[in-house]
Amino acid sequence: MTEPQTVQWFPGHMAKTRRQIEKSLALVDAAVELADARIPVSSRNPELAGMLANKPRILLLNKCDMADPAVTSQWLRAYQAQDLRALPVDCRSGKGLREWRGEISALLADRLAACRAKGMVGKPLRLLVVGIPNVGKSSFINRVCGGARAKVEDRPGVTRGNQWFRVDATLELLDTPGVLWPKFEDAVVGQHLAFTGAVTDRVVDVEWLALCLLETLSAHYMPLLTARYGVEPAAPDALLCEIGRRRGMVVRGGEVDTERAANMLLSEYRDGKLGAITLERP
Ligand code: G4P
């Protein structure tokens, strides 16, 4: 196996986004954080918890259609133990999104009651939608805004580029200002983000990445590898060769084109063809 690689990270970008998010938080009642249900740790920026500490928030475990349902349930129990409201959702199909409005009402029940008591009715609730790139923020906004994204006019005093969307008369969403970078410095986080395609694999060696993926999959999901490729348990490099050989990726001299096999494995994993897989456990 080649040397571990890390993905380059630029702290400057994070500092700017942190400032933008902190400003935006003053404009909203609560935050909706999206994470990738396949990698609930690596797809959440750890700095966000601090930034959102004083806001009611809800966590949406998105792409749950591609995650292992048993592990998703474990995550939900873990969040419940931490008093964090979390919901599994699939923003591509809309599954799970029927429940989220109820969760928001429950989350903001005190605030809504206080507003009613003061006779302040009719003011829409405002929510900040946050998450790292590719986690499904646009899909979520599109889904809950009913297809045609109803963009609200630019508001004075709001950073240019802040995007407001109207769900209905009672609810408005603000898209993450800036780019909330994932936490790349941790090698495993970088790897998991590259497995799912959240970061481009142009920045890492594809064969190395595929070997890392095989190491993880053979530990937890060997039956899925066997079902898809007909391979038996073996070391990652032997598995990659066997997968390539079984797919006819043999070059002159009878050698397996492992780069091609690696690309195929990663792309089939990302397309969910191997099955429902979660790479991180509570
Ligand atoms: P972002 O705004 O946070 O950057 O993410 P975006 O909504 O653009 O979603 C990134 C990719 O993830 C999109 O795929 C989107 O379709 C997919 N996606 C979002 N939510 C889900 C989900 O719950 N399940 C699954 N399986 N996929 C989801 P894409 O390949 O970039 O585009 P496309 O295939 O939709 O054209």
> Which atom of ligand 1 lies closest to the CA of 272?
26
CB 43 within 8 A of CB 182: yes
| CA 44 – ligand 1 centroid, Å | 16
CB 209 within 8 A of CB 194: yes
Q: Helix 206-220 crosses helix 258-270 at what angle (to 10 degrees)? A: 60
Q: Does ligand 1 have an atom closer than 6 angstroms to the CB of 92?
A: yes
Tens-digit pLDDT string for the chain (282 aa): 444 555 555 556 778 888 999 999 999 999 999 999 999 999 999 889 899 999 999 999 999 999 999 999 999 999 999 999 999 999 999 999 988 888 888 888 888 788 778 877 778 889 999 999 999 999 999 999 885 555 555 554 444 456 899 988 889 999 988 888 887 778 888 889 999 988 776 667 899 999 999 999 999 999 999 999 999 999 999 999 999 999 999 998 889 999 999 999 999 999 999 999 999 999
The confidence score (pLDDT) of residue 208 equals 93
Give dist(CA 214, CA 185) in Å, integer.
22
Q: Does ligand 1 have an atom closer than 6 angstroms to the CB of 137?
A: yes
Q: Does ligand 1 have an atom closer than 6 angstroms to the CB of 133?
A: yes
pTM: 0.90
| CA 122 – ligand 1 centroid, Å | 33
The confidence score (pLDDT) of residue 68 equals 98
> Which atom of ligand 1 lies closest to the CA of 91?
23
Q: Does ligand 1 have an atom closer than 6 angstroms to the CB of 196?
A: no
Residues in the chain: 282
Q: State whether residue 86 is helix, strand or coil.
A: strand
Contacting residues for 193 by C-beta, under 8 A, at least 6 apart = 7, 39, 42, 43, 182, 184, 199
Amino acid at 6: T
> From the centroid of its chain, how far is CA 83?
20
> Which atom of ligand 1 lies closest to the CA of 66?
26
